[in-house]
Amino acid sequence: MKKYHFSTVAEYTRLLNRPDPEHPMLSFHTCEPSDCTKVIFDSDDPVAFSSDFYTVSFKKFISGEIRYGRTKYDYTNGVLMFTAPRQELVFQGVMTESVGYNVAFHEDFIKGHEIRNRIKKYSFFSYAVNEALHLSPREEKLIESIFENIGTEYNTNPDEFSKDIILAHIDALLKYSNRYYKRQFINRKELTGEIFSKFEQIIFDYFSSGKFEEHGVPTIESIATALGMSPRYLSDSLKAETGKSAMDHIHLCLMDEAKNLLLEPNITISEAAYKLGFEYPHYFSRLFKKKVGINPTDYRRQHMVH
């Protein structure tokens, strides 16, 4: 597999056979199928790509495969894809349809601007590629107009206002993307319900196999890997559907198992804690009281069948 890591925006544009960027830390281009897919993407062999900058791309994919880790990208119609610095994507045999847009900006380009603080809160930069943002036709038009505004300013002779205007357009692009992701979670409730069922099953199997006692509480990362998705997307999709994050659900499942153990008369509270993977029983008691409302001793006293 060929691997490309771009330290500068210029390295990225040159591989795509694009002119050197107008700014050393920013590039913008529109891409036709003929000149944006042949260079590294339209290949039978997989090609990995990573960089030291952020990218936002709008394209319509008609064939090929894109992977993040072991997951495949589910593409239909127009989609927005986001990459953060040092995130690796793998392309194989990809072809696009219609005009696409791509903006790349280095981490240093947004220093000193409020967007630098906000971008860390946009969890979609941590999503896997198969969790890309799918746009409706109306949303496509608005997003295309923002990209065109970025392009107009990018190709205008720079002055003291240029950077602020470009960043304002990028800021708007990310804010709309955040809004549309919320819509996507709502529209995919059936899929989220399926994710939740699989999520619970993984935790149940984990406990049944004795892994709690041996390895401790399962991590969000390990569950997300088993589900073939990124940790942030898993937590965000569960929160959109249920109001609780992935860690909240892990704790709820953990407390359900704890309640069962506490009702077994031959198991002490310390033994229950160890079986659930807690190294120190008082950590277990503290979490139990926080989640259930009473401590394990009182719970056992109230619910034990005499």
* Shared fold status for 2-187 and 190-303: no
Q: How many residues does the chain have?
A: 306
Burial of residue 19, with CB atoms counted within 10 A of its CB: 0-12 exposed, 13-18 middle, 19 or more buried: exposed
Q: Write down the CATH number for the domain with range 190-303.
A: 1.10.10.60
- State residue 185's pLDDT score: 67
Closest CA to 52 of 7, 104, 103, 105: 7
- State residue 108's pLDDT score: 86
- State residue 73's pLDDT score: 43
CA triple 194-196-201, angle to 5 deg: 100
Residues 140/81, Cβ–Cβ less than 8 Å: no
Domain 2-187 annotated CATH 2.60.120.280 = yes
Spell out, as residue ranges, where the chain has pLDDT lower than 50.
36-40, 62-75, 190-191, 306
- State residue 118's pLDDT score: 85
- State residue 235's pLDDT score: 82
Domain boundaries, the chain: 2-187, 190-303
- State residue 145's pLDDT score: 94
- To the question of pTM greater than 0.85 for the whole model, the response is no
